[in-house]
């Protein structure tokens, strides 16, 4: 396989600018460093393979690192000139950071926790959601449940929204802990849930329309009209675990630390444009005209891009239908630093700090115990709210969202110190934010796990944990084990 000095130098400059290393593999004593890897003398696979990994996000790096530890010849080709995929951190004033992509982790994510611990990354503790609601023209606080102004049923009053949702799900046999297991759902559950939206499921339990609207506001615009299979893992994270954290200095430090171990095996700025496989090998052509040849390819390329690529021979009809029909959502984040976290004095905080059926949708407070003194929030716009935002003048639209929020819920935000935006539809390597399983498309769950000959698939969007780093890691390990069944997560490797 081909590698160039220019890309190695590009990556060296990137790591130096990120403050991770003075050069590739320069920190000899850190767990996961190139020197520690060499000293570990781990058993290699009896038949080393050449493996190309397309994408240097969490799924690709997980697969690459696991196979590298087993002695395989792994090269990672990344479209962007940066490492991290959808973990992308934005520096703010006074050393604070916000997140353009994955914004937080939870303690019911064992793979994420294992990798963060392995690389000894410092953490910021965050508050879970205790929002102020603005729904159906009424305002109420999550921590002041009596009286809420909405027309809830007697059995829906005096109880928190997470408890009400969990209670409704238990009525139909759904446990929010079980849905996070890698092999969920079984065939019986799949048949039961595949034709249902969240709204139809909640209606079957007798939930009031007011409760359904509150859940919709808490989770995201149009959530209740989404396939319930696609939502349950998301709800398990948001409602079944109340312990949040993020990485100090930015969540992208995790993939950067993983890439440091792989060193010059990671090649930046080399978008794949075509894939061709034969009985004996598989090759990838990149935009610069080079051809890279291997025994196996792990593609983490989002289907929004993969469907535009030339793949020879063509994917089988069922796989092609998966690539073409998996749905993708637009997301825009409007990030804001405020003079102080004034909302805390009003008893609201966390993920989310405010939730609504208004165009500003939700406000996420990620301040936690981050040093720097400023309040740190972002508006999370999805679906039509994101699309409508992007149609407005770029020079003024971010501040317009802030001002609309202030008019709707005054007294929560003081002086704005920093305001900006991050638009996922504008990222050319993905053109969207995350994937959604369509209603009635439960067949996709098995299909996205099946390789096409020498071509394997990974990415959070090839799990029901779409949009979550836990899903990305899970899929990367799955693809690695299809090539080498003894591949293991990095935190299970013993380094000397």
Cβ(431)–Cβ(425) under 8 Å? yes
Which DSSP letter does residue 160 get?
-
Known binder of ligand: residue 374? Answer: no
Please name the helix (run of DSSP H) or strand (run of DSSP E) that holds residue 35, with its range, or none. helix 34-40
Mean pLDDT score, 191-218: 94
The whole-number pLDDT of residue 47 equals 82
Lowest mean pLDDT among 34-43, 211-220, 251-260: 34-43
CATH match of 89-103+121-128+244-248+331-426 with 3.90.660.10: yes
Residue length, the chain? 496
The whole-number pLDDT of residue 46 equals 59
d(CA 130, CA 138): 17
Phi and psi torsions of 166, nearest 5°: -60, -40
Q: What is the pLDDT of residues 429-488, one digit of tens each?
A: 999 999 999 999 999 999 999 999 999 999 999 999 999 999 999 999 999 999 999 999
Distances in whole angstroms, Cα of residue 455 to Cα of each of 122, 298, 314, 424:
36, 6, 12, 27
Tell whether the torsion through CA atoms of 338, 342, 348 and 350 is positive or negative: positive
The whole-number pLDDT of residue 119 equals 97
Contacts for 428 with CB less than 8 Å, ≥ 6 apart: none
SS3 state at 398: helix
The domain ranges of the chain are 5-85+252-327+434-492, 89-103+121-128+244-248+331-426, 151-240
The whole-number pLDDT of residue 23 equals 30
The whole-number pLDDT of residue 496 equals 63
* 58-69 helix and 253-262 helix, angle to the nearest 10 degrees: 30
40 pLDDT band (50/70/90 cuts)? Answer: very low
Phi and psi torsions of 197, nearest 5°: -85, 165
Distances in whole angstroms, Cα of residue 414 to Cα of each of 132, 139, 338, 471:
16, 20, 6, 37
Computed over every residue of the chain, the mean pLDDT equals 90
Contacts for 402 with CB less than 8 Å, ≥ 6 apart: 334, 336, 379, 413, 416, 419
The whole-number pLDDT of residue 222 equals 66
Known binder of ligand: residue 380? Answer: yes
* 469-483 helix and 58-69 helix, angle to the nearest 10 degrees: 40
The whole-number pLDDT of residue 219 equals 85
Q: Which CATH architecture has domain 5-85+252-327+434-492?
A: 3-Layer(bba) Sandwich (3.50)
Contacts for 10 with CB less than 8 Å, ≥ 6 apart: 81, 268, 269
Q: How many CA atoms lie within 13 A of 76 on its CB side?
A: 36
What is the number of helices (H) and of strands (E) in the chain? 16, 23
SS3 state at 89: strand
Spell out the SS3 assignment of 204-261: HCCCCHHHHHHHHHHHCCCHHHCEHHHHHHHHHHHHHCCCEEEECCCCCHHHHHHHHH
The whole-number pLDDT of residue 45 equals 47
Q: What is the pLDDT of residues 300-353, one digit of tens each?
A: 999 999 999 999 999 999 999 999 999 999 999 999 999 999 999 999 999 999
Alpha helices by DSSP H, listed for 97-186, are 110-118, 161-171
Q: Is beta strand 123-126 parallel, antiparallel or unpaired with respect to 272-277?
A: unpaired
17 pLDDT band (50/70/90 cuts)? Answer: very low
Of the ranges 34-43, 165-174, 232-241, 370-379, the best mean pLDDT one: 370-379
d(CA 231, CA 200): 13
Q: What is the pLDDT of residues 107-134, one digit of tens each?
A: 999 999 999 999 999 999 999 999 999 9
């Amino acid at each position: 396989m081909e590698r160039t000095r220019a890309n190695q130098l590009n990556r060296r400059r990137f790591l130096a600018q990120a403050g991770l290393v003075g050069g590739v593999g320069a920190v000899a004593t850190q767990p996961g460093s190139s020197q520690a890897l060499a000293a570990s003398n781990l058993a290699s696979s009896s038949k080393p393979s050449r493996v190309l990994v397309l994408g240097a996000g969490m799924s690709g790096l997980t697969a690459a690192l696991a196979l590298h530890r087993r002695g395989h010849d792994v090269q990672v080709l990344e479209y962007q000139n940066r490492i991290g995929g959808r973990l992308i951190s934005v520096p703010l004033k006074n050393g604070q950071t916000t997140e353009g992509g994955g914004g937080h982790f939870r303690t019911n994510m064992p793979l994420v926790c294992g990798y963060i611990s392995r690389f000894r990354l410092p953490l910021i503790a965050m508050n879970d959601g205790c929002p102020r609601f603005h729904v159906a023209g009424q305002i109420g606080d999550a921590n002041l449940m009596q009286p809420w102004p909405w027309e809830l049923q007697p059995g829906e009053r005096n109880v928190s929204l997470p408890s009400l949702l969990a209670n409704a799900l238990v009525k139909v046999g759904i446990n929010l802990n079980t849905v996070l297991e890698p092999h969920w759902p079984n065939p019986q559950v799949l048949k039961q849930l595949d034709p249902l939206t969240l709204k139809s499921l909640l209606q079957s339990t007798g939930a009031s329309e007011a409760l359904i609207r509150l859940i919709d506001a808490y989770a995201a615009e149009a959530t209740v009209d989404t396939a319930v299979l696609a939502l349950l893992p998301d709800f398990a994270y948001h409602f079944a675990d109340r312990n949040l954290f993020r990485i100090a200095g930015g969540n992208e430090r995790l993939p950067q630390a993983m890439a440091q171990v792989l060193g010059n095996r990671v090649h930046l700025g080399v978008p794949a444009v075509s894939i061709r496989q034969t009985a004996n090998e598989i090759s990838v052509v990149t935009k610069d005209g080079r051809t890279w040849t291997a025994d196996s390819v792990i593609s983490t390329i989002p289907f929004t891009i993969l469907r535009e690529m030339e793949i020879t021979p063509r994917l089988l009809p069922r796989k092609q239908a998966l690539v073409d029909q998996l749905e993708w959502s637009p997301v825009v984040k409007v990030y804001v630093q405020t003079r102080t976290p004034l909302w805390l004095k009003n008893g609201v905080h966390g993920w989310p700090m405010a939730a609504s059926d208004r165009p500003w949708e939700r406000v996420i407070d990620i301040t936690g115990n981050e040093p720097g003194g400023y309040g740190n929030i972002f508006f999370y716009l999805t679906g039509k709210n994101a699309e409508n935002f992007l149609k407005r003048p770029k020079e003024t639209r971010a501040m317009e969202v802030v001002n609309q929020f202030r008019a709707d819920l005054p007294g929560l935000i003081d002086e704005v110190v920093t305001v900006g935006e991050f638009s996922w539809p504008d990222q050319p390597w993905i053109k969207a934010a995350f994937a959604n399983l369509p209603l009635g498309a439960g067949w996709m769950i098995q299909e996205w796990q099946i390789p096409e000959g020498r071509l394997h698939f990974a990415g959070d969007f090839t799990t029901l944990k779409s949009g979550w780093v836990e899903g990305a890691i899970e899929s990367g390990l799955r693809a690695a084990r299809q090539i080498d069944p003894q591949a293991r997560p990095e935190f299970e490797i013993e380094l000397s």
